[in-house]
Chains A and B, each alone.
Chain A
Amino acid sequence: MKRLARWQDAVLGALGVLGLLIAWEAVTRSGLVNPVIFPGPAKAIAVAFARVPLRDLWEHISTSFLRILWGFGIGAGLGILTGTTSGWYRTLGALTRPVIELVRPIPPLAWIPMAIIWFGLGEPSKVFVIFLGAFFPVVTNTYKGMGGVDPILLRAAQTMGLSGPRLLLRVAIPAAMPDIATGIRVGWGLSFGVLVAAELIAAESGMGFMIMHARQSGEIGVIIFGIILIGAMNLVTDYCIGEVIRRKLGRWHAA
């Protein structure tokens, strides 16, 4: 019964996507809109592959991906470290929380000028902006998770003789894992969200550069292809992260 429902959902979903693509193609062929400015899906992809050689495309993708990996990696790592320690040690928390809460509402993109001033026009400034996108969701969710650890768990572990860093590593952090996982997924999404803007900073490659460059040369098909590509990469990687989290955490946390 449940399986049937899932199949039905998949078929209906595919129908919905197909319907949208057909409608899009039909509108562009009907002459209601100028196909140069608003190309259909088939033409957009054809133009993209004609104008952007596969080797360049691969370079754009890998450059962007590497930037995201660096920015997100540093952001999530520091976020988890700051979140767990400031959630565990009360004095440290009292010191760091107000600073983080004060800086957090500043949108990552608003840092771009300072990123350029501090790091120049090269890779570090782009990585820094992506880092900001990942760091704040991870740190706030981790902190929240640390605060929500059931005191009974901690006390039970203490009666069994655990204390200090081992209590933190073996009980508190695993218990806070679901919140940390939430932070990681939000942070990953935001990393993609700021990527394009980060690549507006004097970039020479990357998917964000590819679509901004295509605007100047008027290749709308490349822009549309790029938008879909960035979205698809975000979707696929987010799904993979979600799967990993589900498998690792599913053992003791029912979804």
Chain B
Amino acid sequence: MKRSGETSTEGGARWPRLLGAAFLVTLLLLWQVASLAALLKPFYFPPPSRLAVAFWELTWEGFPEGVRIGTHMLVTLGRIAQGYLLAVGVAIPLGIVIGWLPILDSLTLPIITFARSVATLSLLPLVIVWFGVGELAKVLLIAYGCFWVMLTNVIAGVKYIDPLLIRAARTLDTSPIGIFIRVVLPAALPRVFAGMRIALGVGFMVIVGAEMIGTIQGLGALIMEARTFYRSDISVVGMVAIGLFGFGISAGLEQLERILLPWHRGLELVRR
């Protein structure tokens, strides 16, 4: 086998991709064949053909009866969006203030560190007692998970701005508000975006746990419900759906970052 120590050029990156795709297709084929040959039990490892049928069923008839996959996706997306936006909306202004005032930063650091370490899903029983098993509980759980990740990133973004940048702006006689808008915010934005991306990942992780309780709508609920009806094929389709969904959205966010923050990419290239 060849070593990959040598730096691969962009043009040379093609054959591994082809090889990878071929390997994936082979795996799927083997899976199908093994299942047809009764080497793998379809309940334990539903074969691709069965998954396709399950997907068809989910698209047209829905599971449970009448709840189609589009509905599940929209419900999940709605919950994540609400919790996520709530977290981001509160964390950005709060993080800027804390990051800008060192005394506030010192006061809150242990609290924030601890709150971050608290496993979001361990709040599940508490949230149920306080807010019931309805929508609010799920949205708040997602908001909690996203909030602390977001907050620490915003604080770090503001706190670790190169003082040279601020001093340079001062020498150029920029007003404090001008410094804030033209120097601090753009310099903090890359970290803020990083936080938004990580927080979204957290949201997608928490939602599955949050949807385990008190609902039959949403991809997390679909995955769990299907098991109780011994429909492992539908569980797997749900897993794939939530995986693709999360992947697509985070890829979209990355693209957005590239368009909105051209200066950051330049910086990264310079650092290399």
- In the complex, what residue of chain B is closest to A212 when comparing beta carbons? B125
Interface residues of B in 122-136 (CB under 8 A from A): 122-126, 128-130
A contact residues around B107 at 8 Å (CB): 12-13, 15-16, 19
A234–B121 alpha-carbon span in the complex (Å): 13
A-contacting residues, B204-243, CB 8 Å: 204-205, 207-209, 212, 219-220, 223-224, 226-227, 232, 235-236, 238-240, 242-243
Q: Which of A90, A103, A230 is the one whose CB lies under 8 Å from B4?
A: A90
Contacts A113-B226, A231-B122 given; indicate if A98 touches B20 (C-beta within 8 A).
yes
Q: How far is the CB of A130 from chain B (nearest CB, A)?
A: 12
Say if the beta carbon of B30 comes within 8 Å of chain A. no
Residues of A within 8 A of B129 (CB): 37, 215, 218, 220, 223
Q: Is B239 touching A114 in the complex (CB atoms < 8 A)?
A: yes
**Bound-state Cα–Cα, A215 to B114, Å:** 23
Please classify the interface of chain B as helix (H, G, I), strand (E, B), loop, or mixed, using the class held by over half of its residues: helix
- With an 8 Å Cβ cutoff, the count of chain B residues facing the other chain is 66
B113 to A149, Cβ gap below 8 A? no
B7 on the interface (CB 8 Å rule)? yes
Q: How many inter-chain contacts with C-beta < 8 Å in the A-B complex?
A: 197
Interface residues on A, range: 35 or more
Question: What does DSSP make chain A's interface, helix, strand, loop or mixed?
Answer: helix
B271 CB–A CB distance under 8 Å = no
For the complex, is B49 an interface residue (Cβ under 8 Å from A)? no
Shortest beta-carbon distance, B159 to chain A, in Å?
13
Contact for A98 among B21, B120, B227, CB less than 8 A:
B21
Taking CB atoms and an 8 Å cut-off, the chain A residues in 57-74 that contact chain B are none
Extra A-B contacts (18), CB below 8 Å, given A9-B106, A107-B242, A196-B122:
A8-B106, A9-B109, A88-B4, A90-B4, A90-B16, A91-B1, A94-B19, A105-B204, A109-B209, A111-B239, A112-B224, A114-B232, A146-B4, A172-B5, A192-B117, A196-B121, A223-B125, A235-B114
